């Protein structure tokens, strides 16, 4: 049985002070989520990672990115050792905004995923097609490439520890969420690809949907066979809306 997961991706939002207010406000939500067997967490900006840890140690905390090299001349980057030092054990990899603005490729994502797994950390690997690819009916072709490259040279034991997030690029921040039928179809396709490679282990891998998830629509995704949770941007920023998301997952 896969545990449900709600992960808020804060992107470049919230100062440390705003993060503190949210973290304190989320203490009761962590207790609620635990009671119902749901994992909840947020991915704040780097500077706010320790703030969440400090004010709500029960919230799962993810970095929004990480470099695959242990250290070196990579201006503006952050290493796994730096995250581990402050007890951050999760990282989002390959978010579409990083693929779009920072030339993140699936091959680079694979290096990052391998580095994280070698350090017993949890990668949340994002995949998804652009609007042009969606309209050309290329979704599954794109997803296949992204899954195949991202999971290259990863053992089945390690694959079980990866979380996959299907986020169609055309649905991120647009208010145009993919229907639960489309999302389930793609997530089931992803699980099928993982089953081809890893057999039964694929049943353990959590797959999230992301893209304009709101309290009003989260339930429809969670009631499908292959969607185990959500990666949420805008609707994860206010504590009220985050609480509604959790309530509607229960
Ligand atoms: P959104 O973002 O919920 O604001 O569409 C989702 C994401 O980028 O992960």
Distance 104 CA to ligand 1 centre (A): 17
Q: What's the rounded Cα separation, in Å, for the pair 153 and 172? A: 29
Which atom of ligand 1 is closest in space to residue 174's alpha carbon?
5
Q: What is the pLDDT along the chain (250 residues), one digit of tens a residue?
A: 899 999 999 999 999 999 999 999 999 999 999 999 999 999 999 999 999 999 999 999 999 999 999 999 999 999 999 999 999 999 999 999 999 999 999 999 999 999 999 999 999 999 999 999 999 999 999 999 999 999 999 999 999 999 999 999 999 999 999 999 999 999 999 999 999 999 999 999 999 999 999 999 999 999 999 999 999 999 999 999 999 999 999 9
Q: What's the rounded Cα separation, in Å, for the pair 211 and 129? A: 12
Q: What's the rounded Cα separation, in Å, for the pair 85 and 30? A: 23
Q: Which residues are catalytic?
A: 95, 167
Pocket of ligand 1 contains residue 231 by CB under 6 Å: yes
Q: What's the rounded Cα separation, in Å, for the pair 164 and 187? A: 9
| Non-local CB neighbours of 21 within 8 Å, separated by 6+ positions | 239
Kindly give the residue spans of alpha helices, DSSP state H, lying in 64-138.
Answer: 80-85, 96-101, 106-118, 131-135
Domains of the chain (ranges; CATH) run 4-249 (3.20.20.70)
Distance 56 CA to ligand 1 centre (A): 23
Pocket of ligand 1 contains residue 172 by CB under 6 Å: yes
Residue 240, φ and ψ in degrees, nearest 5 = -65, -45
| Non-local CB neighbours of 129 within 8 Å, separated by 6+ positions | 138, 139, 142, 143, 168, 169, 170
DSSP H/E element including 8: strand 4-9
Q: Quote the tokens at residue 42.
A: 């947020």
């Amino acid at each position: 049985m896969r545990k449900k997961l709600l992960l808020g991706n804060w992107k470049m939002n919230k100062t440390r002070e705003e993060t503190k207010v949210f973290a304190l406000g989320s203490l009761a939500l962590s207790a609620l989520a635990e009671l119902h067997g749901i994992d909840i967490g947020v991915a704040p900006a780097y500077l706010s990672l320790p703030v969440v840890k400090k004010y709500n140690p029960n919230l799962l905390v993810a970095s929004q990115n990480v470099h695959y090299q242990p250290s070196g001349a990579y201006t503006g980057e952050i290493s796994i050792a730096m995250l581990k030092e402050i007890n951050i054990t999760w990282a989002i990899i390959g978010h579409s905004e990083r693929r779009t603005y920072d030339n993140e490729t699936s091959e680079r994502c694979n290096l990052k995923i391998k580095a994280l797994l070698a350090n017993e950390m949890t990668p949340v690997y994002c995949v998804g097609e652009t609007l042009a690819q969606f309209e050309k009916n290329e979704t599954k072709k794109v997803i296949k490439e992204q899954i195949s490259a991202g999971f290259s040279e990863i053992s089945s034991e390690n694959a079980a520890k990866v979380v996959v997030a299907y986020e169609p690029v055309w649905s991120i921040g647009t208010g145009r969420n993919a229907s639960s039928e489309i999302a389930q179809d793609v997530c089931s396709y992803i699980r099928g690809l993982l089953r081809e490679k890893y057999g039964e282990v694929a049943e353990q891998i959590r797959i999230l949907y992301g893209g304009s998830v709101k309290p009003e629509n989260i339930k429809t995704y969670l009631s499908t066979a292959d969607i185990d949770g959500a990666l949420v941007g805008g609707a994860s920023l206010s504590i009220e809306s985050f609480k509604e998301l959790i309530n509607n997952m229960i």
